[in-house]
Amino acid sequence: MENLEDLNTKAHKAVKIYSKNLLSVYDLYVFKCVSPIFFRCPSEKIIDFYLNNVSENHLEVGAGTGFLLKKCKNAGKIKMLSLLDLSENCLEATQKSIKPIEAKIYKANILEDLPLETEKFKSIGLNFVLHCVPGDFKTKGMALLNLGNHLTEDGAIFGSTAIYDSKQNVMAKLVMDTYNKTGIFNNKDDKKNELEEVLRDGFGKVSVTQIGNVLFFKASKRKA
């Protein structure tokens, strides 16, 4: 097992790709190409999952461009919003996307101590984040459990992540192999059953479903 220092180095490497130029085409690439074509998961499924699980008091981890949050905002789903990301470019892009909502900003690595103090949220979302996080699901799962400590009693943590699958198409394999080799992805050993196991260890209510190469997870009732 890699030590925390090595994992943090990989985490910082993974976010360097998110330049302002890349973010300008990110939504088109991910939601029109990668997810529906390569990963065999219609983008509408991801959007609906977010709309059904986001709350008025929400923490978004791995903000990206704010694509999903903007849809939630337009649907009147969010009133209080916090953003946590290691990339300043992503935080800036999302802040612009979700105006006039003024989000509370946390620049942080979820593998390290969280700067959330006593903050509590009714929902915490992570879309296409975990497959970028270094380590296996035991390591990534600890981050989910730590985030779960900041849920309200009736709150839930939810999200989606891409995994390797024996039925994946050639393009999905090429994308994942390339991204794992360059350090953008860190999901070569991610398994559905391992995500379920770590979530069930820490939460009383867990759901993990799969569409194509994408896992959708939701967990609530954080165990003491």
What's the CATH code of the domain at 38?
A: 3.40.50.150
Radius of gyration of the chain measured on its C-alpha atoms: 16
Residue 122 domain flag: no
Residue 184 domain flag: yes
The confidence score (pLDDT) of residue 177 equals 93
The confidence score (pLDDT) of residue 150 equals 98
How far separated are the first and last CA of the chain, in Å rounded? 26
The confidence score (pLDDT) of residue 163 equals 93
The confidence score (pLDDT) of residue 14 equals 66
The confidence score (pLDDT) of residue 205 equals 98
Residue 117 domain flag: no
Structural tokens at position 176: 């994942």
How much is the pTM?
Answer: 0.93
Residue 113 domain flag: no
Residue 203 domain flag: yes
Please give the chain's pLDDT, 224 residues, in tens: 566 566 666 666 667 778 889 899 999 999 999 999 999 999 999 999 999 999 999 999 999 999 999 999 999 999 999 999 999 999 999 999 999 999 999 999 998 899 999 999 999 999 999 999 988 898 888 899 999 999 999 999 999 999 988 778 888 999 999 999 988 899 998 999 999 999 999 999 999 999 999 999 999 999 98
Residue 91 domain flag: yes
The domain containing residue 97 runs over which residues? 4-108+129-222
Residue 193: CB atoms within 10 Å: 9
Instruction: Let me know if 101 is exposed, middle or buried by CB neighbors in 10 A (0-12, 13-18, 19+).
Output: middle
d(CA 190, CA 192): 7
| The total number of structural domains that make up the chain | 1
Residue 114 domain flag: no
Instruction: State the pairing for strand pair 203-211/214-222.
Output: antiparallel
Residue 70 domain flag: yes
